[in-house]
Structure 1
Amino acid sequence: MSYRVEAEWDDTGWWVVTVPDVPGAITQSRRLDQVPADAAEVIEIQTGEPVNPDSLVVYPSLPGEAGEAAAEARRLRAEAHELSERASERTRAAVDLLHRRGFPLRDIGKLTGITYQRAQQLVKS
C-alpha cells in the first residue's frame, strides 16, 4: 500500500512528518531524504504492518518566500527539461535531414549548434 506523507518544515530545523491516512502517525526528520524511512517506521508502529519506504509519496511543504522560490525552481527545471528534450528531438531530425541533403558534418554542426563530432554520432545512430 502507498501512503501520502506530508513533511512540513519547522523553524526549529526539523521536518514535521505526518501521514494523514494513519491516525497518530507523526514524527520528525532532520533531513528530507530521511522522511520516507522515518515515516515508514511510524506507520509500522501505528498499524503493525511493515511498509517499504520506497512506496511512500512525500509532499514537502515550505512556508512563505522560501517555499515559493523552491516551487518556482522546480517548475523552471521541469520546463527546462522539457525544452531540452524537444531540442534534442529537433536536432536529431535536422541532422538527419541535412545529412540526407549532403551537407558536410562540420556544416551540420554549425547549422544545428552542436559539434561536428556530435553530428557524426547522430548520423551513425
Structure 2
Amino acid sequence: MAPALLDAANWSTCAVCAVMKVPQVAAVLAARSARGLSVGSLALELTGFLVFLKYQIYYGYPLQTYLEYPILIAQDVVLFLFILHFSGNMKQALLYTVTFVGGWYMLALQKWIMDLAMVRVT
C-alpha cells in the first residue's frame, strides 16, 4: 500500500509541475506583453531550481526525488524567453544563457562550491 501511495504522490507532483507555468505562459502570449513580470525574480527562481538540481545530481540522489525540477526549469526557460522577447531585450538571452550554463558547470568544480551554493540559495 505504501509504495503505491508514494508512486501516486510522485506522479501527481510531476503532473502538477508539468502544467504549473502554463497559465502564466498563456497569459503572456495572449497579452503579447510581459508587463508585470520581473526578469530578476524569474532569474532568481531559475537559479534556485538549477542549483538544487545540480546538487541532487552531484550527490547521486535517485531521479524520483528531483524529477519535477527539470520540468519546472524547462517551463521557466520558455517563460524567460517570452519575457525577454516581449520586453524587447532578446539580445540579453545570450548573456543569461552563458551565465546559467557557466554557473551550472562551475558548481561542480569543487565540493565546497556546491555546498556553499546550497547554503546561499536556501
Give the TM-score category using the shorter length.
under 0.3
Structure with greater Cα Rg: 1
Q: Going by fraction, where is helix more abundant, 1 or 2?
A: 2
Q: TM (normalized to structure 2)?
A: 0.27
Ranked by relative contact order (alpha carbons within 8 Å, sequence separation 6 or more), the top structure is 2
Q: Going by fraction, where is strand more abundant, 1 or 2?
A: 1
